[in-house]
Amino acid sequence: MGENFKAHSLLQAKNIMTRLGLDEYRGEQVFKWIWQKNATDFLKMTNVPKELRTFFESRYTITGPAVAAVRQGNEDVKKYLLELEDGEHIESVFIREEKRRTVCVSCQVGCPLGCKFCATALIGFKRNLYAYEIADQVRVIQADVDDKCTNVVFMGMGEPLLNYEQVVAALEIISSPLALSIGRRHTTVSTVGLLGGIESLLKSPIRVKLAISLNFADEEKRKELMPVAKSNPLRDLLRLAKAYSLKKEMVTFEYVMIDKINDGLRDARSLLRLLRGIPSKINLIPYNEHPRLPYKRPADEKIERFYRSLLDSHHTVVIRKSRGQRILAGCGQLAGDS
Ligand code: SF4
């Protein structure tokens, strides 16, 4: 079987054409066919010369993930189980909300970081996804729902900053006007707070929104439930978050509220103290329960009380609606059990 052409970036596609003595715009044409017209057959690329189509057909394939299962909560939320070429599975979620069409993508098969409350952690780590496997989740879902996606969030399986290079390459495909054409301002990378990865994003020319899963204002509790916090101290994380907000885009802190663990008024006060002076938004995410984990969602009154106690601060505070909870498509619920 030939090499998968999709594994090539736009630049590489153009270089292939130049090496063949052709104009580089032929690379752009093929790239558009693949990413915008969902082509899987070179022979159908009608604006490409016939001999070139035949040559590519003999040399390359165009393959990608296949939809193995779909679960639908209501017509606005769908969870996809996608099978990759090597037989591994990942999950992605589609959410329709007023004018927004958001795809939540995975960037690893499983995750090695072992956050105690997260269903993905139950799988363990299998492998990183390639850039095209990340971007392809958006393309496959767009084709399935027959609608143009407006937003992409890296909040599915895995930690994006552990797969930095492929995530950056996927961002190129997602934002390219010759591919998925979704602006960087509509793309959010969510991290548990890997200092090295945030520093790299800060130094790079990439402008993407950054969300940090903070979850606990108490460092000891954070270390206990998010082992990665042991080597990524809060003080340094907050310093980088502030720099990101000032230099790039305002950071969002995500706070997964877990019953009796981090949902008290004392926790809310600690959170405000911690974030003082950092231009940022706070997303409160009521915990999405999972049958294989013991943690619980707080009662609505507790969530409301916590939320109100944050309102006097300089932060925009939002309680994120969990739209996929019933089909286990909520944040932290992706465990490949579709
Ligand atoms: S919360 Fe994110 S980083 Fe932590 S185990 Fe789950 S997927 Fe990995």
Range of the domain at 40: 3-61
Q: What is the DSSP letter of 184?
A: G
Residues in the chain: 338
What's the pLDDT score for residue 73? Answer: 77
Give this prediction's pTM: 0.94
Domain identity same for 10 and 143: no
Residue 86: inside a domain: yes
104 is annotated as an active-site residue: no
What's the pLDDT score for residue 321? Answer: 75
Return the CATH number at 81.
3.20.20.70
Q: Which of 111, 115, 118, 331 is catalytic?
A: 331
Residue 312 reports pLDDT greater than 60: yes
Q: What is the 3-state secondary structure (H, E, C) of 249-310?
A: CCEEEEEEECCCCCCCHHHHHHHHHHHCCCCEEEEEEECCCCCCCCCCCCCHHHHHHHHHHH
91 is annotated as an active-site residue: yes
Residue 330 reports pLDDT greater than 60: no
What's the pLDDT score for residue 239? Answer: 98
Domain identity same for 113 and 43: no
Q: Is 123 in the pocket of ligand 1 (CB under 6 A)?
A: no
The Cα-based distances of 298 to 49, 85, 119, 242, 288 in angstroms read 61, 40, 18, 29, 10
Residue 337: inside a domain: no
Ligand 1 centroid to 168 CA: how many Å?
19
Domain identity same for 233 and 297: yes
Domain identity same for 123 and 177: yes
Q: Which of 91, 133, 159, 289 is catalytic?
A: 91
- Over residues 194-203, the mean pLDDT reads 98
Residue 296: inside a domain: yes
Question: Domain total for the chain?
Answer: 2
Secondary structure tally for the chain: helices H, strands E: 10, 14
Residue 333 reports pLDDT greater than 90: no
Ligand 1 centroid to 119 CA: how many Å?
8
Gap between the Cα atoms of 293 and 272, Å rounded: 29
Q: Is 192 in the pocket of ligand 1 (CB under 6 A)?
A: yes
